[in-house]
Amino acid sequence: MGSPYSASPRRPSRAGSIPKVTVFSSAGCHLCERALRVVEEVRVERDFDLEVVAIDGDPELEARYREWLPVVEIDGERAFVYYLDEAALLRKLGRDG
């Protein structure tokens, strides 16, 4: 524990891995449409896997996400709800990539 390097929490190495961005959306949701446009714009600058999940008709997904739409997760962790800011998404993706 004497080393200054051992005092910082260890994070798994992400070298070589590509982040996964998941957008939960619904048909007719203008905020979801905007979020998807922002994600596509950022995807030009940063490499990541993208999954778009339509919650419509799935009771479990409806219960979990409907009131928060759009929901954007990065590697399974909720990163944004309601509003997606391009600069903030770039920062979050750049932090690991």
Instruction: Beginning with the edge strand found earlier in the chain, give each strand of the sheet holding 77-81 in spatial order.
Output: 49-54, 20-25, 71-74, 77-81
**What pLDDT does residue 2 have?**
45
Q: How confident is residue 32, by pLDDT bands cut at 50, 70 and 90?
A: very high
- Distance between CA atoms of 79 and 89, rounded to whole angstroms? 8
pLDDT higher than threshold 90 for residue 79: yes
Q: What angle do CA 61, 20, 43 make, to 5 degrees?
A: 110
Q: What is the mean pLDDT of residues 27-42?
A: 96
**What pLDDT does residue 95 have?**
59
pLDDT higher than threshold 80 for residue 12: no
Q: What is the mean pLDDT of residues 13-37?
A: 89
Q: What is the mean pLDDT of residues 39-55?
A: 95
